[in-house]
Amino acid sequence: MATNDTVIWTLMIVVLVVFISQSCVHGESRVPCFFIFGDSLADNGNNNHLKTPAKANYLPYGIDFPKGPTGRFTNGRTFVDIVAELLGFENPIPCFATTRRPKDMVRGLNYASGSAGLRDETGTHMGANVNLNKQLLNHKATVKHIASVMGHKQSSNKHYLNKCLYSVGMGSNDYMNNYFQPKFYPTSTKYNPEQYATLLIKQYSRQIKTLYMYGARKVALVGLGQVGCAPYSISTGTNGSACVDKMNDAVQFFNEKLKSLVDQLNTNLTDAKFIYVNTYGMSGRSADRTTTGLKVSDVNCCPVNEIGQCVPSAAPCKNRSEHMFWDLFHPTEMANLVTARRAYNSSNQSDTYPMNIGHLAKLRL
């Protein structure tokens, strides 16, 4: 005959099993919200209605994405789309430009904009974009909208935002569409690569502290990839090397200083946690072709126009899961998948420092 204690324990186990099964069915995310700041590597439609050719709302972009072309500069999902899935979000994080209702903002927003950078002038020779300073202003407005949903209770609003995950990946265009475009910008004549990296990181530090002021406490700072290995860069000449070494060397100054900034932020802002994601070491020529299947790393998959983007409606390559690059600049979904999974799960601090994205999401601060 069962004792009362046995019955109680049995009921507790049943309740626990039901709770876990319901959580799995409903796909409860590991953080309540995910906010994304970035450039074309993360843009999911914010540039669609801007006056710029830097937009990707036409085929063959999105050919492998369930909703087709949305403004993502790749054939399928972006790095942050995949991170959102790993976090447990059932749907992609919506873009800021088309999200109007405050109740649709509470799970997060994507502010990323193609051609945008840390510096306000970056990429403007191509037309309009939403630089990081403007993205931060957009997020400030979002915070107010979320407060309205929560009944203007400042403490509960702050507590909610503190639990969210924030991804910031900026800086590539400050090189590709600024420093290495001397026809349009004077930065390369004013600063050597190390001086320029120092300048960028000082500005970045102020911008990240602004994000902290708006409630961010779990922040992944995504480093710059091997821009010198992009098909566009290779097409400009490599002097016998596999990639354009001066470009890769320049962004490595930035990455080294960004990793140091993470240490400074973690030391000075003790109620928050910042991590560095080393995409340089996880992508491009550094990717293990035998395990990733990315056999083609120097040729684009889609036919391109004069600015290096896919020609509208042109047929892309068939073996796109083997290609590192979609157009002359942007990675394929498969390349994004490799990098995102590694950034989320890696136990190697040379990939993510001082912890991976999955661990950051679980932290209780």
Active site residues: 40, 327, 330
Give helix 193-213 / helix 132-149 axis angle, nearest 10°: 10
- Tell me which amino acid residue 59 is: L
Question: What is residue 284's DSSP assignment?
Answer: G
352's enclosing H/E stretch is: strand 352-353
Tokens of 354: 């001082």
Under a CB-based contact definition with an 8 Å cutoff, are residues 168 and 208 in contact? Answer: yes
- Mention every residue, 6+ apart, whose C-beta is less than 8 A from residue 257: 197, 198, 201
Bridge partner residues of 277 (DSSP): 222, 352
The two beta strands, 273-277 and 352-353, are antiparallel
Residue 359, both tokens: 């661990």
Q: Write the DSSP symbol of residue 167.
A: E
The owner of tokens 């992009």 is 230
CB-based contacts of 32: which residues, under 8 Å, 6+ apart?
106, 107, 160, 163, 164
- The token duo for 335 is 């390349």
Q: Using CA atoms, how far apart are residues 135 and 18, in angstroms rounded to an integer?
A: 41
